[in-house]
C-alpha cells in the first residue's frame, strides 16, 4: 500500500459496524488531545492516523493511544495530492462498509442534536434513510484579539480559546462534481479578499458510508462516484487560528507542500508579516453556543424526520 508503514501492533477488528476516523497529520500534538477526546465522546470506535514527518512529539503521543492504529510516511505530501492518495488507500483497506469520518486534526464534527445523540445513532438514522454521505459547512473559529495572541494549552477545550465564528456571509455555487455545490465565506474569505486572492472552500463531505473504490478527489470537498446525500447537514468547527498559527504558516509557506504550492499559507505568511493587528472578530461574529444555534442561523440543517427520530430516542 504505497509507502505507508504501519507502526502499531494492535489487533484489527473486522467489524464493519464500527465508526472509524481517518486523519493525516503533521506536527499536531497541540490539537490532538482535544480532537481525540471530542471524537471519542461523540462515539468514534477507532482511529487510523497517518503521520507525515512530525517532529513535535505527535508520533509518541499517538503511539500511546489504545484506539489509534498508527501509520507513517515521509513521502511528499504534495505528490500524494495533499494526502488524498494516502487517505483513499487507507479508506479502501480499513474503511470499507463502515461509516468513515475523514477529518483534519483541527476539525471537530457537530450535527443537529450531537450534544445528546451519539454518532452511532446518527449513522443509524442515515442508514434508515438510505443516505451515503453527509455534507458539512466548515466553520472557522477564532478568538477575540489579534490572531497572533491566542492562548491555548494542549488538552483544553478548543472552543474555549476560539469561541467566535462568522454568523453570516456565506455563499453557495454550483459545481460539476459531487456534491455539486461548494460554499465560500467566513473570516478566511475576508482575509483573502483583502489581499486580492481567491478564498478557500468552506464545505466538505467528511462522513461517508465508504465502499472500496470510492474516491475523494479534491480534499474532502469532492468525491466520486455520486452518492446519496443526507437530509441533515452538519458542520466542522475549524480551529486553525491557535497560538501556533504564525509559526505554522511560515513553515508551510516555505515547504510549499500544500495545494497550489501552498498558496494559502504564503498569503497567511505575508499577512502575518505586516506590522498591524489582525482581528477576525467583527460585528457579524457570534459566540458559539451549540448545535441548535447553528441550525437557527441556517449553518446546519435538520429535518422533521430526523427530529422525530431524535425525540423517539430521547423519550425512552
Q: What is the CATH number of the domain that holds 250?
A: 3.90.550
Total count of domains within the chain: 1
Which grid cell is 202?
A: 468552506
For residue 184, list its beta bridge partners: 171
Q: What is the pLDDT of residue 196?
A: 67
Specify the DSSP element, H or E, that contains 121.
Answer: helix 119-129
Tell whether the model's pLDDT for residue 1 goes beyond 70.
Answer: no
Q: Domain range spanning residue 55? A: 5-314
Tell whether the model's pLDDT for residue 23 goes beyond 80.
Answer: yes
Q: What is the pLDDT of residue 15?
A: 75
Distance CA 115, CA 239 (A): 19
| Cell 505568511, residue located | 269
Distance CA 297, CA 108 (A): 19
Mean pLDDT of 249-267: 76
Prediction pTM value: 0.95
Q: What is the pLDDT of residue 257?
A: 76
Amino acid at each position: 500500500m504505497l509507502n505507508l508503514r504501519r507502526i502499531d501492533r494492535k489487533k484489527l477488528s473486522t467489524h464493519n459496524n464500527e465508526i472509524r476516523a481517518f486523519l493525516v497529520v503533521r506536527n499536531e500534538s497541540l490539537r490532538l488531545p482535544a480532537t481525540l477526546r471530542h471524537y471519542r465522546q461523540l462515539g468514534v470506535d477507532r482511529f487510523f492516523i497517518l503521520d507525515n514527518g512530525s517532529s513535535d512529539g505527535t508520533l509518541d503521543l499517538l503511539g500511546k493511544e489504545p484506539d489509534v492504529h498508527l501509520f507513517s510516511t515521509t513521502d511528499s505530501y504534495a505528490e500524494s495530492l495533499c494526502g488524498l492518495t494516502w487517505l483513499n488507500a487507507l479508506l479502501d483497506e480499513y474503511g470499507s462498509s463502515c461509516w468513515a469520518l475523514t477529518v483534519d486534526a483541527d476539525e471537530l464534527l457537530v450535527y443537529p442534536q450531537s450534544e445528546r445523540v451519539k454518532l452511532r445513532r446518527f449513522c443509524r438514522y442515515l442508514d434508515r434513510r438510505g443516505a451515503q454521505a453527509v455534507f458539512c459547512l466548515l466553520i472557522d473559529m477564532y478568538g477575540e484579539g489579534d490572531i497572533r495572541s491566542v492562548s491555548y494549552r494542549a488538552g483544553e477545550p478548543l472552543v474555549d480559546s476560539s469561541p467566535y465564528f462568522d454568523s453570516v456571509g456565506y455563499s453557495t455555487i454550483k459545481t460539476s462534481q459531487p456534491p455539486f455545490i461548494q460554499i465560500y465565506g467566513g473570516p478566511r474569505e475576508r482575509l483573502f479578499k483583502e489581499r486580492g486572492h481567491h478564498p478557500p472552500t468552506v464545505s466538505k463531505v467528511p462522513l461517508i458510508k465508504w465502499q472500496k473504490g470510492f474516491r475523494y478527489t479534491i480534499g474532502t470537498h469532492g468525491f466520486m462516484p455520486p452518492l446519496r446525500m443526507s437530509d441533515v447537514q452538519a458542520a466542522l468547527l475549524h480551529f486553525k487560528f491557535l497560538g501556533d498559527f504564525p509559526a505554522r504558516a511560515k513553515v508551510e509557506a516555505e515547504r510549499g507542500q500544500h495545494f497550489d504550492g501552498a498558496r494559502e499559507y504564503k498569503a497567511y505568511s505575508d499577512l502575518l508579516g505586516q506590522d498591524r493587528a489582525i482581528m477576525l472578530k467583527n460585528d457579524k461574529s457570534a459566540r458559539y453556543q451549540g448545535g441548535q444555534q447553528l441550525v437557527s442561523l441556517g449553518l446546519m440543517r435538520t429535518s422533521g424526520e430526523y427530529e422525530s427520530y431524535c425525540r423517539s430516542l430521547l423519550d425512552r
